[in-house]
Amino acid sequence: MQKKSLSYICLLLTGIILAASCKKGLLDTYPKDKLSGATFWETREDAVNAVNAIYSFLPGNSELNWDMLSDIATTNSAAATTANIERGQTNANMDIFQDLWNDGYKAIRAANYLLENVDQVQERDPSLTDELRDRLKGEARFLRAYFYTRLVMLFGDVPLVTATLDVEEAATLTRTPKEEIWDFVDRELAEIAPHLPNSYTGDNIGRITKGAALALQARAMLYAGRWKRAADAAKAVMDLQVYDLYPQFEQLFTYGAENNQEVILDRQYAKDIASTEFFYNYGPRGMNGDVGICPTRTLVDAFETVNGRSIWDDPDYNPLNPYAGRDPRLGYTVFIPAFSDAVPGDVLYNGRAYDPRPGSGTADEVEVDYRRTKTGYGIRKYINIEDLNDPRNCGTNFILIRYADVLLMYAEAKTELNELDATVYDALNKVRQRSDVNLPPVTAPQTQGQMREIVRHERMVELALEGLRLFDLRRWKAADEVMQGAIPGMTYIRHGESEVDTLLYNGVVRFFDPQRDYLFPIPQQEVLMNSHLTQNPNY
């Protein structure tokens, strides 16, 4: 019996060993939920999808955070990194700089990766036409140029990378002088513009157009101080006859106006699909928002009176009813706070009065604490009623370049060229006289110096809280004095009183070192990893 069972066991053991032995492919595992680079770049779809992914790097509505580092707004949370930058406590170890650097080069890498492979896709899949291939390349090259423009404005000279790199190559890069990068951007945009369509239809709307390439060229050349190139590029956009101002400034940043004729480049969003938390992050506390950004009184005071004059010069201006009779864009840009018991402010979308006055007891009451406005003002652009009940699911596209900007760029470049012809006044006045703005025109003749001030002022109010002010201050070297000290908030009369009080927010006391702060530091880690990368002055 025992012998018999023994032989059974032997058989069984041998059986197990044979059956289970050496599971085939035990070590040949491969990812099942990811695509592999080895099998990609085969079809037209692959090429299109690879371009789509580059778009995801386009900065979106957090772009308006740059304005916190300018005179027109401040950071809501005094503990935030941007608040420390406002205080002049900037240092190269701050994560924000590494993130900016990385994000820029990630987008550039994705573009380079496509550019290196798209030709071979065409060999494998003839349905990728020359036209489409050139368009895709154009989109990728545009996006690459967009990020270089941004990197130069943030960091100054940066390595110009036009191919995918391995670690060794990247570790020995040097900083390319920014003039060379401007040359590159200029050349690239000029080259791709002819291959890009004027416009798209259907689910291609939102892609890079010829107008976008020319408009970015205008912006980059303006930033570079190459006035002639800038003016020509802006003129080329105007000559396309594709774009025009949207008649309602008030509606420009709403769902209803998405993809309108003024939009040249935007970061596309969609509720439910590719949504943001814009309303939650930036909306007023009275509508349960986090008040992420606080516009300053510097911005508010910059809006003219309806007479087209500064509030300091206009005898009609009434400091006891300060928001009446003003450039309508003021009320479309920020929520107007209650000034006194007699002069109420805006009514919020939920019917509540916007009364941030100290002592008002409302949710919007100014507090030094987090999640309350510090200046009394709140951003209104992009704060849309559709998002009130679902504030973390917002889908308004965030406009990155619009036609008004192009007009003002044209005016600025021509002014710097001192070519103050009628086209300059036309461009400027077009912006000032949009249907629902309708300010008195600026009339000739103005000196170059006067015109420069007028155009710069117009950019400040027209493009406020769209993330452009910091770069304007940088290129104008205009931050030295405006970025110092405590931050001006609203004027108001306390409930039941009659004296005018002025808010001065000193949770952040600004300090700006002109010898240092016009550029961000190169991230410390990058400098340590690559000894060829020099640090910006005084960091």
- Residue 271, CA atoms < 13 Å, CB-side half-sphere: 14
Helix H or strand E segment including 398? strand 398-402
Nearer to another protein, 173 or 519 (CB): 173
- Binding part of the chain for another protein, among 229-237, 293-301, 357-365, 418-426 by CB under 8 A, reads 357-365
**What is the smallest separation between the CB atom of 109 and another protein, expressed in angstroms?**
2
Tokens representing 248 are: 């309602």
**What does each C-alpha distance from 537 to 80, 155, 158, 181, 314 come to in angstroms?**
24, 11, 14, 20, 43
320 makes contact with another protein (CB under 8 A): no
**What is the smallest separation between the CB atom of 345 and another protein, expressed in angstroms?**
17
- Binding part of the chain for another protein, among 20-28, 324-332, 376-384, 463-471 by CB under 8 A, reads 20-28
**What is the smallest separation between the CB atom of 312 and another protein, expressed in angstroms?**
26
Q: Angle formed by the axes of helices 227-240 and 403-416, to 10°?
A: 140
Burial 519-530 (b: 16+ CB within 10 A, else e): bbbbbbebbeeb
367 makes contact with another protein (CB under 8 A): yes
9 makes contact with another protein (CB under 8 A): yes
Burial 367-405 (b: 16+ CB within 10 A, else e): eeeeebbbbbbbbbbbbbebbbeebebbbbbbbbbbbbb
**What is the smallest separation between the CB atom of 26 and another protein, expressed in angstroms?**
4
Report 116-145 residues binding another protein (CB under 8 A): none
Nearer to another protein, 22 or 342 (CB): 22
**What does each C-alpha distance from 508 to 86, 366, 488 come to in angstroms?**
7, 15, 11
272 makes contact with another protein (CB under 8 A): yes
Q: Which of residues 62, 248, 456, 511 is near another protein by CB under 8 A?
A: 511
**What is the smallest separation between the CB atom of 517 and another protein, expressed in angstroms?**
12
Nearer to another protein, 2 or 443 (CB): 2
x-or-dash string of contact with another protein, 468-497, rule CB under 8 A? ------------------x-----------
385 makes contact with another protein (CB under 8 A): no
Q: Which of 472, 455, 473 is nearest to 404 (CA)?
A: 455
419-428: list long-range contacts, CB under 8 Å, 24+ apart. Answer: 419/231, 420/444, 420/445, 420/446, 420/448, 420/451, 423/235, 424/451, 427/238, 428/454, 428/455, 428/458
Q: Which of 19, 161, 50 is nearest to 102 (CA)?
A: 161
- Residues whose CB is less than 8 angstroms from the CB of residue 320 and which lie 6 or more positions away in sequence, other chains included: 339, 340, 343, 493, 500
31 makes contact with another protein (CB under 8 A): yes
- Identify whether the C-beta of residue 287 lies closer than 8 Å to the C-beta of residue 349: yes
Query: What angle (nearest 5°) sits at the alpha carbon of residue 232, between those of residues 228 and 238?
Result: 145
534 makes contact with another protein (CB under 8 A): no
539 makes contact with another protein (CB under 8 A): yes
Task: Determine the size of the site formed for another protein (CB under 8 A).
Answer: 109
| Burial degree of 173 (CB within 10 A; 0-12, 13-18, 19+) | middle
Report 54-113 residues binding another protein (CB under 8 A): 55-56, 78-79, 83-84, 87-89, 91-93, 98, 101-102, 104-110, 112-113
Q: Which of 55, 236, 214 is nearest to 136 (CA)?
A: 55
506 makes contact with another protein (CB under 8 A): yes
Nearer to another protein, 281 or 429 (CB): 281
Query: Is 72 strand, coil or helix?
Result: coil
**What is the smallest separation between the CB atom of 482 and another protein, expressed in angstroms?**
16
- Residues whose CB is less than 8 angstroms from the CB of residue 10 and which lie 6 or more positions away in sequence, other chains included: none
Nearer to another protein, 117 or 318 (CB): 117
Cα 363 versus chain centre, distance: 29
53 makes contact with another protein (CB under 8 A): yes
Report 144-163 residues binding another protein (CB under 8 A): 159, 161
Q: How far apart are CA 406 and CA 245, in angstroms?
A: 10
Q: Which of residues 130, 241, 273, 498 is near another protein by CB under 8 A?
A: 273
524 makes contact with another protein (CB under 8 A): yes
Question: Which residues pair with residue 491 across a beta bridge?
Answer: 502
Nearer to another protein, 202 or 315 (CB): 202
First to last CA, the chain: 88
Query: What angle (nearest 5°) sits at the alpha carbon of residue 387, between those of residues 362 and 396?
Result: 130
**What is the smallest separation between the CB atom of 110 and another protein, expressed in angstroms?**
6
Report 202-231 residues binding another protein (CB under 8 A): 202-207
Nearer to another protein, 184 or 332 (CB): 184
Q: Which of residues 283, 292, 337, 395 is near another protein by CB under 8 A?
A: 395
Helix H or strand E segment including 39? none
Report 162-201 residues binding another protein (CB under 8 A): 164-167, 170-171, 173
371 makes contact with another protein (CB under 8 A): yes
Nearer to another protein, 68 or 460 (CB): 68
**What is the smallest separation between the CB atom of 13 and another protein, expressed in angstroms?**
7
419 Rama sector, left if φ>0, alpha if ψ -120 to 50, beta otherwise: beta
Nearer to another protein, 68 or 110 (CB): 110
Nearer to another protein, 33 or 130 (CB): 33
Nearer to another protein, 274 or 385 (CB): 274
